[in-house]
Amino acid sequence: MVTGKRYRAAVIGGSGYGGGEMIRRLLIHPHVELVRVASIDHVGEPLSAAHPSLEGATGLAFQDLPPAEAAGGVDVVLLALPHKVSARKMSEIMPTPAKVVDMSGDFRLRDAAAYERYYGAEHPHPELLEQFVYGLPELNRERIRTARLVASPGCFATTIELALLPLAKAGLLEGVVHVQGITGSSGSGVAPSAGTHHPVRAGNLRAYRPLEHQHLPEIVQTLAQAGARDLEVRFVPVSAPLSRGIFATSFVELPDAWSEERLRRLYEDAYDGEPFVRVPRRRLPEVAAVSGSNHAEVGVALGPAAKGRRTAVLISATDNLVKGGAGQAIQNMNLMLGLPETASLEDPGPWPP
């Protein structure tokens, strides 16, 4: 329940793209005040040094602070740190009373062995894994409301999970599922690399980490929680010449008794009342329709019957920095603090993008 209280928030790791989107949303939040931003980059400089769109929007500067000090005296800490860094810092934050939303992949998996395989490092605090609630509101809303620690989902994971969640809940998701996901360059972070360098990325499509992406175990774990059985996701990610956006296409075999209209109704019913997931009727999902917003789009198509089965195509789109990242973290924060879930996230995004 919203009271007259204005909550205090800190961001740790605020110089990256995800941190910038998080800061922007916090600065316009009606119930939360951003009081500090910690970072090892741009120390002492205004936030606009890393995020030019924030020029004149705040007097805050980047501070190089120990995690416990950064978390001191605030109601909520939002971590925008890289994978493997959040895991090391959490032990310093835990003694503080602050609630925590972590955007890294360090606390999404329950299985420490899976974390070591997909993230390439032994987890430094496996005892904390069970304490984090997975922050997909469309599945775990009530658990998030009462949580102190929330692990916000990954961008690919969010997009693919939303496409398959209604089937999992209906008991229709089992066996092998094939997925292709296309992503923009901002998902790789602010530091340039061979994969994000403009001359290589522009005008190019390139697959990477086929069948081995780090979001795979997260997707399987989440859909199994929702009701999927014996699930195996075969996922091929593709880098695209976009700054923002994820576009995923998932292929699932259904009994031939299913019609496209019945499948669409399943999805419309599943997401009825969800503030940030829509099932467009007059078109299929597209990145431009969600870019810059916390909205996700999910659409369906169904192939002809063959050998007693029909291939269902589930198409989903998100902005990787908003619903796939910082926006979803704010959504989780709102739930944890008892605030309106949509606070600072209501904007539909620009058109054209």
Residues involved in catalysis: 155
Question: At a CB cut-off of 8 Å and minimum separation 6, what does 43 contact?
Answer: 62, 63, 64
Question: At a CB cut-off of 8 Å and minimum separation 6, what does 339 contact?
Answer: 2, 7, 31, 32, 333
Looking at residue 49, its amino acid is A
Q: Helices 137-145 and 327-336 meet at what angle, rounded to 10?
A: 40
The secondary structure of 116-135 as a DSSP string is: HHHHSS--S-GGGGGGPEE-
Adjacent-strand bridge partners of 9? 34, 76
Question: At a CB cut-off of 8 Å and minimum separation 6, what does 342 contact?
Answer: 275, 276, 331, 334
Question: Can you point out the beta strands (E) in the chain?
Answer: 7-12, 32-38, 62-63, 76-79, 99-102, 133-134, 149-151, 174-183, 206-207, 229-239, 246-255, 277-278, 296-302, 309-318
**DSSP summary character for residue 325:** I
What does the alpha-carbon distance between residue 82 and residue 98 come to, in Å, rounded to a whole number? 20
Q: 326, 80 in Cβ contact below 8 A?
A: yes
Bond before 352 cis per omega within 30 degrees: yes
Adjacent-strand bridge partners of 134? 151
Within 13 Å, how many C-alpha atoms sit on residue 3's CB side?
A: 5
Number of neighbouring beta carbons within 10 Å of residue 292: 19
